[in-house]
Amino acid sequence: VRIRLQASSRASPQGRSVEPRLERSIEWLPAALILTPLILIPFGFKPFAANALALFLIFGLLAMSLSFIWGYAGISSFGQNAFFGVGAYSYGVIALNTIGPFGQTHLAVLGGIVSSTGLALLVGYFLFYGRLSDVYGAIVTLVLSLVLYAFAVSTAGDEWVIGVARLGGFNGLFGQGTNSGNIGNFQIPPITVRLPGMSEPMAFRIDRNTTSGYFLVLGTCIAVYATAKSLLRTRLGRVAVAIRENEGRAATFGYDVRFYKLIMFTLSGAIAGIAGVLFVAWGNFVNPDVFGLSFASSVVVNVLLGGRITLIGGFFGAVALNYLAIFLGGFASNLDQGAFSSASEDPSVAAELVTEVLKRVTVQAPLIIQGAVLVITILLVKKGMVPMLSHFLQQWQRFGWILLWPAVAAFFLHQVACRQASLCLNG
């Protein structure tokens, strides 16, 4: 009844607002369940743990840029890493050149986001105004990132220099020359800004002792997520969903499908660019691998695993898969140290073979995991992890014990981290 009332009261003369609320308002319980451990992690673990998580959140943000268009407008793009990489390279080039004279990197942040947004606008124009079909669009974006990879690799020579920034080919972007205080080769600076009321510019660093970079990443992710979520509640989001459901019908109602798709695609390019800027500021480094095929597939895999119809799914997928990779990496190094062969003095040929195979598999693990997750989610779990989890949560909502979940999760994570990489504070 309530929905019907809402619908009739909000219906405009054109009959465009008949759609009831698409999303519920922010659900505080899940939000608290997710955010509490995220905020607490730097206080319970060494900075290294928080800073690793920051990287995974950046990958999650990139994945979110894909689910923003894939889940809400039905646009598939398999080359989101192209916008990510262009944002990263632009930030790097501008930051290397401006950190000397300005002491801040606000221009670089802006430049990174603007360039990736601009590229998305350009590519989107050709995709949507050329009325390419869904599958073609996905391939064209993928091909774009592969061509950018070929370009980035070919820039190793001495002539590929912008100001003091050397593109560096395979070696990645770095600064060379003299730039007030920096002499010789120097790295891309972290995000450095002077906020109002500060005498000195503040650098959001990621290293052994500081976690300011982690909070910058976390804050940006929350802000971008909230912005995207509220954008999807406006007319833009409703039209996007209408296009996803039935493009022809949306066009019949008088919406310019191409225009709305272009806007959504451009926004997603901007989100990917923000992630790219954070990425290069996180590691002070970027190389052509950001345009590579396996990075491109990791974005898609993260989204599929997390669930493409939710914005938060990409974060889940990215964090889960990357921790799995770390776990298997630790497993592989255990094998190297002979954890398995030490059981018997004289290991049989079969045991040696098994150890060798396991070692090889785990060293190659990222691609095997990605491939397996991709095939299995497509065939079996069509919706992904987050919709399954939230369905579960809704069913059991009245049981208060679920509030224990963060504690359980934190304990579990702590245990895993202590075992795998000696990350705990007093371990």
Partner 1 sequence: MPLDTATIILLEILNSVTVLVLLGLGLAIVFGMMRIVNLAHGEFFTIGAFTVMAVSEFADLPLWVGMLLAPCTGGAIGIVIERLVIRRLYGRPLDAMLATWGISLLLISAITLIFGPVTHGIPYALGNFKIGRYQYAEYRLVMSVAAIGMMAAVYILLRHTSFGRRARATIANPDMAAASGINTSRLFTLTFGLGAALASASGAILAPMVGVVPTMGALYIARAFITVIVGGPVTLLGTASAASILGFIEATASRFPLLRIETSGFCAPPPCTIVIGGSAFYGQIALLLFAVLLLRVMPEGITGRRGR
- Toward partner 1, which CB reaches closer, 287 or 297? 297
- Toward partner 1, which CB reaches closer, 115 or 155? 155
- Find the binder of partner 1 among 129, 170, 259, 411 (CB under 8 A): 129
Segment interacting with partner 1 (CB under 8 A) among 26-34, 53-61, 111-119, 148-156: 148-156
CB 54 within 8 A of CB 214: yes
- Find the binder of partner 1 among 7, 121, 140, 326 (CB under 8 A): 140
- Toward partner 1, which CB reaches closer, 170 or 412? 170
- Toward partner 1, which CB reaches closer, 125 or 285? 125
Tokens 């990779």 belong to: 325
CB 217 within 8 A of CB 39: no
- Toward partner 1, which CB reaches closer, 46 or 308? 308
Residue 159 interacts with partner 1 (CB under 8 A)?
A: yes
* CB of 370 vs partner 1, minimal distance in Å: 5
Rounded Cα–Cα distance for residues 412 and 62 (Å): 27
Residue 82 interacts with partner 1 (CB under 8 A)?
A: no
Residue 156 interacts with partner 1 (CB under 8 A)?
A: no
**Measured at the alpha carbon of residue 299, what is the angle toward residues 54 and 208, in degrees to the nearest 5?**
20
- Toward partner 1, which CB reaches closer, 154 or 415? 154
Residue 170 interacts with partner 1 (CB under 8 A)?
A: no
Interface mask toward partner 1 for 354-393; x: CB under 8 A: ---x--xx--x--xx-xxxxxx--xx--------------
Within 234-253, the residues that bind partner 1 by CB under 8 A are none
Exposed (0-12), middle (13-18) or buried (19+): which is 281, by Cβ within 10 Å? Answer: buried
Residue 161 interacts with partner 1 (CB under 8 A)?
A: yes
- Find the binder of partner 1 among 132, 202, 326, 402 (CB under 8 A): 132
Encode burial over 242-279: b for 16+ CB neighbours within 10 A, e otherwise: bbbeebeebeeeebebbebbbbbbbbbbbbbbbbbbbb
CB 91 within 8 A of CB 281: yes
Rounded Cα–Cα distance for residues 315 and 307 (Å): 10
Nearest residue to 218 via CA among 45, 88, 58: 58
Hey, which residues does 192 pair with through a beta bridge?
203
Rounded Cα–Cα distance for residues 265 and 285 (Å): 27
- Find the binder of partner 1 among 39, 40, 143, 408 (CB under 8 A): 143
Residue 144 interacts with partner 1 (CB under 8 A)?
A: yes
Contacts of 312 (CB under 8 A, 6+ apart): 34, 64, 225, 306, 386
Within 338-357, the residues that bind partner 1 by CB under 8 A are 357
What amino acid occupies position 24? R
* CB of 102 vs partner 1, minimal distance in Å: 20
- Find the binder of partner 1 among 29, 35, 147, 183 (CB under 8 A): 147
Rounded Cα–Cα distance for residues 202 and 104 (Å): 8
Give contact residues for partner 1 (rule: CB under 8 A): 76, 78, 126, 129-136, 138-140, 142-144, 146-147, 150-151, 154, 157-163, 176-177, 292-294, 297, 300, 304, 357, 360-361, 364, 367-368, 370-375, 378-379
